[in-house]
Structure 1
């Protein structure tokens, strides 16, 4: 296991970072760490009020922090486009895009565009956002990065192209695992396509292990299950690491010089659930280029966001 922690992060003065889901949990802790190192952080939040409250807490630790809160609802492609246009128009550069926000194991709901909410928020929303911000990433001088947050649960995931949105059959954990596998497939396929063009943009996947955030509570709350909510709270207290520790793989993927495009980063401790970040291997299905290309084509069709990147195959 590496000895890398937040003290190992380089100075980020003059860098601009976008973090989705920046108002709580891992996104908030990542924002705090980026800001302390001098980066200008665009806090992409579904609820601007909560985003402003989170911004104030970061300023308590880092009074000089450069922070901008912008509305981003990944469950609404119109919101994704509006956000991306604002960033492209108002930010001089974009050095790191952290695709961090997500929902986990919730009852079936649909996004504004009719997608299963887990697949729509966790994968399609970030796919669209990345495509819309990619010109800015490519035009920014020097190396830039796209970091996509997955989960160890991706290992049980399969992409059901015949029922991507769970309209015929829905299991909340299967849907979550599918969306998290999609995150890794997307990160790798994006890197392959960027590499084929010679672009100085690295696409990296990561996972936080088991971190205590409010992500685990939303599913039981939406399902109205007090028992599941209680079990999640107990499990968080017993097994989980802190949100700050859970943010380390994302921070490593975003800033460590040793990171290469196509890497997968996670905590290197007990069962890869906790500990300091290291490079790891995702499951075999995540490296299937044919599935990655098919998912890419479907994602472009469903979001209406077409990347100007060739298929390296």
Structure 2
């Protein structure tokens, strides 16, 4: 079996021209890296971010990376109503709006709050609502856009950081 360096590198990402990716949490970390590389390879990227200022800063980085178009949809992934509204907005934005298809959904938005207990507006624990429920709901709402697209993918990004939290209450 080849080692990781031989098995994968960003240089092996094929041309993504004509493909559209939706990436939650695309304003930093893994989400920003994925959005940047996909745009560099020609994909149209729709960033789903909570903070407009951080999204604008990340968008400048992604725009500079390559030819793929970049759009931003603002949403708090811990709030089901915002996730549904974001899905409706995504359906009308950029290449998705023009073609009615989505090739890649990367559910990357996440947080870890080891301090005080926090809840969303429905009383759901904030980590759970953001890291799990929000991504599931977005994938469900966007399903008609990727269900019949050959090669479409949904990628769920996770973390082991929750292992450092003693109590979610």
Partner of 1:10: 14
Partner of 1:39: 43
Distance 1:106 1:153 in 2: 10
Q: How does 1:2-151 map to 2 (within 5 A)?
A: 2=4, 3=6, 4-62=8-66, 64-90=67-93, 91=96, 92=99, 93-107=101-115, 108-140=117-149, 142-151=150-159
How far did residue 61 of structure 1 move? Answer: 3.0
Q: Give unpaired runs (5+ residues) of structure 1.
A: 157-170, 176-313
Partner of 1:274: none
Deviation readout 1:92-127 (Å, 9 max, x if unpaired): 211110010100243210012211000010001111
Distance 1:76 1:22 in 2: 18
Distance 1:5 1:24 in 2: 20
Structure number with higher helix proportion: 1
> Any idea what SS the aligned residue of 1:132 has?
helix
Distance 2:40 2:19 in 1: 12
How far did residue 173 of structure 1 move? Answer: 4.5
Partner of 2:165: 172
* C-alpha contact (below 8 Å) 2:26/2:35 kept by paired residues: yes
* C-alpha contact (below 8 Å) 2:17/2:68 kept by paired residues: no
* C-alpha contact (below 8 Å) 2:112/2:161 kept by paired residues: no
Q: Give unpaired runs (5+ residues) of structure 2.
A: none
Q: Which has more radius of gyration? A: 1
* C-alpha contact (below 8 Å) 1:105/1:173 kept by paired residues: no
- Residue 117 to residue 36, structure 1, CA distance change in 2 (3 Å): same
How far did residue 29 of structure 1 move? Answer: 1.0
- Residue 121 to residue 9, structure 1, CA distance change in 2 (3 Å): same
* C-alpha contact (below 8 Å) 1:75/1:113 kept by paired residues: no
Deviation >6 Å, runs of 4+: none
Deviation readout 1:233-271 (Å, 9 max, x if unpaired): xxxxxxxxxxxxxxxxxxxxxxxxxxxxxxxxxxxxxxx
CA-atom RMSD, angstroms? 1.8
